């Protein structure tokens, strides 16, 4: 997504645009739906402050039960576009974009893509109470219990359990 700087008016303005995942220029992105980009722009004579919000629906595979599910991804980013980097307030803005007086547009594609990637959860679950798959037969425990016999624990630890029991009895 390119933002034309010479088309911006002084002061506050909002731009809302819908782009496709293909517009990000990435092969096989985790989000295949349209991406809603909302930019709040404050243009001043020497700098432009951009607060962006990005939202889309993504399709994931659950880490526990391997079922496919959709989840809303929402992320924010802040940019400061300026001609004078040393005087910029670097503690507020995540990224600074240096421009010259002749710069006519900036490309926001990388910022949009990075924001979406950072909003992907580390643990992708179809629902918080997902029970996952049976470790013995592989049945999806969200759809019902399985018929296989479950043994509690690993038989290799039986010796330590007996030792622990013996030690507590001696006390």
Q: What is the pLDDT of residues 25-46, one digit of tens each?
A: 776 766 778 899 999 999 988 8
Dihedral (C-alpha) 161, 162, 168, 171: value to the nearest 10 degrees? -150
Contacts of 32 (CB under 8 A, 6+ apart): 21, 58, 59
Greater confidence, 165 or 128? 128
Confidence of residue 14 (pLDDT cuts 50, 70, 90): very high
Could you tell me the pLDDT band of residue 94, with boundaries at 50, 70 and 90?
low
Percentage of the chain beyond pLDDT 70 is 88
Question: Mean pLDDT across the stretch 132-138?
Answer: 87
User: Where does the pLDDT of residue 23 fall: very low under 50, low under 70, confident under 90, or very high at 90 and above?
Assistant: confident
Separation of CA 26 from chain center: 15
Instruction: Band the pLDDT of 151: cuts 50, 70, 90.
Output: low
């Amino acid at each position: 997504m390119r933002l034309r700087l010479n088309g911006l008016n002084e002061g506050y303005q909002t731009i809302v645009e819908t782009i496709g995942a293909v517009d990000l220029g990435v092969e096989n992105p985790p989000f295949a739906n349209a991406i809603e980009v909302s930019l709040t722009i404050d243009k001043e004579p020497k700098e432009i402050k951009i607060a962006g919000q990005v939202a889309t629906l993504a399709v994931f595979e659950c880490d526990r039960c391997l079922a496919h599910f959709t989840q809303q991804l929402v992320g924010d980013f802040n940019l400061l576009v300026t001609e004078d980097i040393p005087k910029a307030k670097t503690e507020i803005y995540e990224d600074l974009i240096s421009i010259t007086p002749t710069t006519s547009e900036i490309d926001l594609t990388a910022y949009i893509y990075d924001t979406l990637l950072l909003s992907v959860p580390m643990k992708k679950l179809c629902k918080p109470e997902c029970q996952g798959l049976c470790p013995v037969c592989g049945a999806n425990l969200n759809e019902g219990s399985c018929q296989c016999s479950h043994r509690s624990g690993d038989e290799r630890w039986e010796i330590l359990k007996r030792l622990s029991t013996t030690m507590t009895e001696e006390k």
